[in-house]
Amino acid sequence: MNLLILFEQDRLENGKFYISDNRFIHIKDILKKNTGDQLFVGMLNGYDGTAVIEQLDNEKIILSEPIWNEKKHEHNIIDLIFALPRPQTLKKILFITGMMGVKRLFLIRANRVEKSYFHSPLLKPENYKRFLIDGMSQGKNTYMPEISIHDKFKPFIESLNEKYLPRNNPVQKLLPDKESERIISDLYDKNISNTLIAIGPEGGWVPFEIDLMKSIGFEIFKLSNKTLRVEHAVTAVLSQIELVENQN
């Protein structure tokens, strides 16, 4: 845990924070923190900052009123379209998207997605949010990705531009495909603040799906010469974008 995510329900009337759940156990037993130690904290969907442990016992931690860094981290907005994977893989993806600061995650049906995956209890917010929060804590990111689930591929893709993407700002739409000769630095535009990336299932997109996405503006690029697992593909593409953004 590199950042303790705080929730409004943790706040006391005097501005201090009361922690008694699994976050308390982690701080006490894993991080071995004591009274007087400083923690990096972040308000869910808000600022980050620091707070001091004022009280620690076997049941709870009381944190001082945090000193907030009243400046939000500016970075390009990245959304992901993801062919819904098996639940164990989805847990890893949720962690990665929380860690890497993804804005929105669209989980969709694809030809090579098992229908049973859409009935997983993991798709309920009360079950998937803890994986996002764990990732946010790791990456020092306070903003929780927005999750939406779409069980019909064609209607979702056909309505994507009008229904889900900003109309007044350009969006670069990227589609990893091993058949492409271009790499991400050949087409990624740092001057466009919104990026949408589509990651396929383990077996890949079928030709119809690729053609439909290309018809609404997706550009293909080679992510790797290797065949990656989907959770590794997410890390790879987000890391490559970060690298390109930081280049002069």
pLDDT tens by residue, 79-92: 999 999 999 999 99
Would you state the pLDDT for residue 84? Answer: 96
Residue 13, C-beta contacts closer than 8 angstroms, at least 6 positions apart: none
Regarding predicted confidence, which is higher, 94 or 72? 94
What type of residue is 187? L
d(CA 41, CA 227): 38
Q: Is 20 helix (H, G, I), strand (E, B) or coil?
A: coil
Measured between alpha carbons, how far apart are the two ends of the chain, in Å?
32
The span from the CA of 98 to the CA of 27, in Å, is 20
Domain that holds residue 179: 77-246
pLDDT band at 74 (very low <50, low <70, confident <90, very high): low
Q: Are residues 81 and 196 in the same domain?
A: yes
Which one, of 112, 95, 92, lies nearest residue 153 by Cα? Answer: 112
Instruction: Using pLDDT thresholds of 50, 70 and 90, give the confidence band for residue 169.
Output: confident
Model confidence, pTM = 0.92
Whole-number CA gyration radius for the chain: 20
Most distant pair of Cα atoms in the chain: their distance: 60
- Give the CATH number of the domain where residue 164 resides: 3.40.1280.10
Domain count of the fold of the chain: 2
Q: Are residues 15 and 116 in the same domain?
A: no
pLDDT tens per residue, range 8-32: 999 999 999 999 999 999 999 999 9
Q: Is 23 within 8 Å of 7 (Cβ atoms)?
A: no
Residues 124 and 19 in one domain: no
Residue 176 has what pLDDT? 94
Span 100-118, average pLDDT: 95
Instruction: State the pLDDT confidence band at 203, using cuts at 50, 70 and 90.
Output: confident
* 92 and 207 share one domain: yes
Which band of pLDDT confidence, cut at 50, 70 and 90, is reported for residue 72?
low
How high is the pLDDT of residue 229? 92
Residue 112: is its pLDDT beyond 90? yes
